[in-house]
Amino acid sequence: MKQDNPTYDLECLDIAKNFGSVRAVKGVSFDIPSGSFFSILGPSGCGKTTLMRMIAGFEEPSGGDIKIKGKSVLGVPPNRRNVKMVFQHLALFPMMNVYENIAYGLRCAGFGKDHIRRKVHDVLERIALPDVAEREIHQLSGGQKQRIAIARCMVLDPDVLLLDEPLGALDLKLREAMKIELKLLQHQFNTTFIYITHDQSEALVMSDNVAIMNQGEFEQIGTPQELYHRPNTAFVAGFVGDSNRWSGTVKASDGTGGKVETEQGLPMSFSAGAGQTIRDGAKVDIFVRPEFIRTVRTAEAAAIAADGDNRMDGVIDSLLFNGANSRVLVRTGSGELIESDVTLTGDNDLKPGEDVSLVWSSKQAMCFARQESA
C-alpha cells in the first residue's frame, strides 16, 4: 500500500459492507485532499450513511481499508478516531447547556478546566455565537443548533468532519441560508468536510468535489461543474439537474457526435457524453437540460436559428410560473411534452397556446449508450 501521504486526509480503498445478503456498499475507493469540501450525493438507500458510519467507526467494513492521515484505522474504536461527525438530527445533548455540549469532547480527552473554557469560548467566537454558552439547547433556533453541532466537533480539531444530511430537518428558508454558511465555516476552519446529501443543490453549491453514489458504488467523482456539464453516465446526467430525456437510435456518428432519431421519430443532433464513443445504430439516451433550450415565438425564431443546430416547433401547453425558476411545457407535433426554462419579466411574456420554437445546441444534447438498467 501507499506510504504515509500527508496530502490526503482520508483514503478509502475498495471499501465494502454487506448486511447479510444486502450489499450496501460495494467496493468504493477515493481519497480526499486536505482541507477540501467533499460531498457524497446519491438517492435514498444508496449506501451513503453506511459509508460514513464505516469512516466514523460505527460499522466494521466487510472489506477494504480506511486510512486517515495515511494510517489505517481498521479496528480502532469510534472514540479513538480523530474523525468527528455531525448527525442528521444533530444529536445535541439536551440535558447539557451549550457550553457543556461543546466541552464534552474536551472533557473526555482529559483537558484542564481553563484550557477547556478557553477553547470553548474560542470556537463560539469563530461560529459567531459568542453569547450563547449558558443557553439550554431548546432555547436555540434551528440554525444556531446546527452551528453548535459543528462547533462541538471542531473544538476537537478533527482530521475530518463528517456531516450526514445535517440540513434535512430544517425548513426551506433556513436550509438555503445554511448552505452558504456551512461553506463559509469550512473555509474558516480549513478542515476536510465530508458531506452527505440526497439534495443535489446542496452538493453543487457547497462542494469542491462531489461523488455521485448509486446502489453502493461511485458513478463519478468530480467538481460540481464537471458533473453537471460533463456527466460520465446516464445516471449522473439524470440525477444531477433536471433534464428532458429521449431514447433513440444513432443514424450517423463520427464517434463523438452526429445525428440520432428519437423513438418518436424526431431527428436531433448530439455530442457524446464525456469519454464515450458512440457508433452508428446504437441505442442511446439523450439528455437536454431545460435551461439550455431557448423558447421563442415561431415568428421570431428565424433570427436565432443559427445559434443551435436543433430546432423543434410546438405549442405552449402550460406555463409553470415560479418567479425566477419559471418553466414552460411545450407540446411538440408528436405529442410529447418538453420542458424549457424561461425568464418571465411580466412584460410581453409567453402565454399558453402560443406557437413557439425550441432551439438548442448539439453541444448541450448529451448522449449515452443505453444500459440495461437505464
Partner 1 sequence: MLAQKKTSPFLLGYRLYVVAFFIFLAAPLISAGAFAFNDSLFPALPWQGFTLDWFFSDTEPKLGMFHDRRLLQGLYYSFVIAIFVAALSVFVGTTNAFLFVRGEFPGKNFFYIMMVVPLVIPGVILGISILVLASDTANYLEDTIDLELEFLRPGILLVVLGQFSFIATITSLVITARLKKFDETMEEAAFNLGASRARVLRTITLPFLRPAMIAAGIVAFLVSFENFNTTLFLVGSEAPLTITMYDRMAKVGSTPVLNAVSFVLMVGSGLLALLSILIQRDKSAQ
Partner 2 sequence: MQNKDIKRLTLILLFAPFALWILLLIILPHIGMVVLSLKEKVAPRVYEYSFANYLDFLHEPIYWNTLLRTGSMSLLVTALALLIGFPIAYYIAKIAGPRARGGLFLLCLIPLWVSDLIRSFGWILLLRETGVISNFLLWTGLIGQPVEFLYNDAAVIVGLVYTVILFMIVPLVSTLDGMDNSMIEAGYNLGGNGFTVLRRIIIPYAMPGIVAGCIVTFMLSAGSYLTPILLGGKNSSWFTEQIYNQFITRFNWEGGAAFGMLLLLFTSIVIWLGLKLSGQTLANTVAKS
Phi-psi region of 216 (alpha: psi -120 to 50; beta: other; left: phi over 0): left
Binding site partner of 145, from partner 1, partner 2, ligand ATP, none, Cβ cut-off 5-8 A by kind: none
Helix (H), strand (E) at residue 133 = none
What amino acid is encoded at 359 in this protein? V
197 vs 204: CA distance, rounded Å: 10
Whose Cβ is closer to its own copies: residue 275's or residue 323's?
323
Phi/psi of residue 152, nearest 5 degrees: -60, -35
Q: How far is the CB of 172 from its own copies (least distance, A)?
A: 6
Among residues 9, 11, 59, 202, which is the contact residue for partner 2, using CB under 8 A? 59
Total residues binding ligand ATP (CB under 6 A): 12
Q: How far is the CB of 194 from ligand ATP (least distance, A)?
A: 13
Write the burial class of residue 138 (CB in 10 Å: 0-12 exposed, 13-18 middle, 19+ buried).
exposed
147 vs 107: CA distance, rounded Å: 20
Q: How far is the CB of 235 from partner 2 (least distance, A)?
A: 30
Q: Is 46 in the site for ligand ATP (CB under 6 A)?
A: yes
Whose Cβ is closer to Mg ion: residue 24's or residue 296's?
24
Q: How far is the CB of 198 from ligand ATP (least distance, A)?
A: 5
Instruction: Say if CB 51 and CB 85 are below 8 A apart.
Output: no
Cα angle 135, 159, 220; round to 5: 110
Minimal CA–CA distance to 237: which of 48, 370, 49, 51?
A: 370
Among residues 76, 96, 274, 329, which is the contact residue for partner 2, using CB under 8 A? 96
Q: How far is the CB of 79 from ligand ATP (least distance, A)?
A: 20
Binding mask 19-58 for partner 2 (x = CB under 8 A): -------------------------------------xxx
Residue 107 neighbours by CB under 8 Å, 6+ apart: 116
Binding site partner of 49, from its own copies, partner 1, Mg ion, none, Cβ cut-off 5-8 A by kind: Mg ion
* 320, 324, 325, 326: CA torsion to nearest 10: 20
Among residues 95, 172, 303, 306, which is the contact residue for partner 2, using CB under 8 A? 95
Q: Is 49 in the site for Mg ion (CB under 5 A)?
A: yes
**Footprint of partner 1 on this chain (CB under 8 A)?**
56, 58, 60, 77-80, 83-85, 87-89, 91-95, 104-105, 108-109, 138, 152-153, 156
> And the C-alpha cell for 343?
425568464
Q: How far is the CB of 163 from ligand ATP (least distance, A)?
A: 13
Instruction: Say if CB 92 and CB 58 are below 8 A apart.
Output: no
Q: How far is the CB of 358 from its own copies (least distance, A)?
A: 16
Whose Cβ is closer to its own copies: residue 299's or residue 320's?
320
Binding site partner of 225, from Mg ion, its own copies, partner 1, none, Cβ cut-off 5-8 A by kind: its own copies
Instruction: Say if CB 85 and CB 164 are below 8 A apart.
Output: yes
Instruction: Say if CB 159 and CB 10 are below 8 A apart.
Output: yes
Strand 217-222 versus strand 327-332 pairing type: unpaired
Q: Is 47 in the site for ligand ATP (CB under 6 A)?
A: yes
Among residues 50, 101, 186, 295, which is the contact residue for ligand ATP, using CB under 6 A? 50
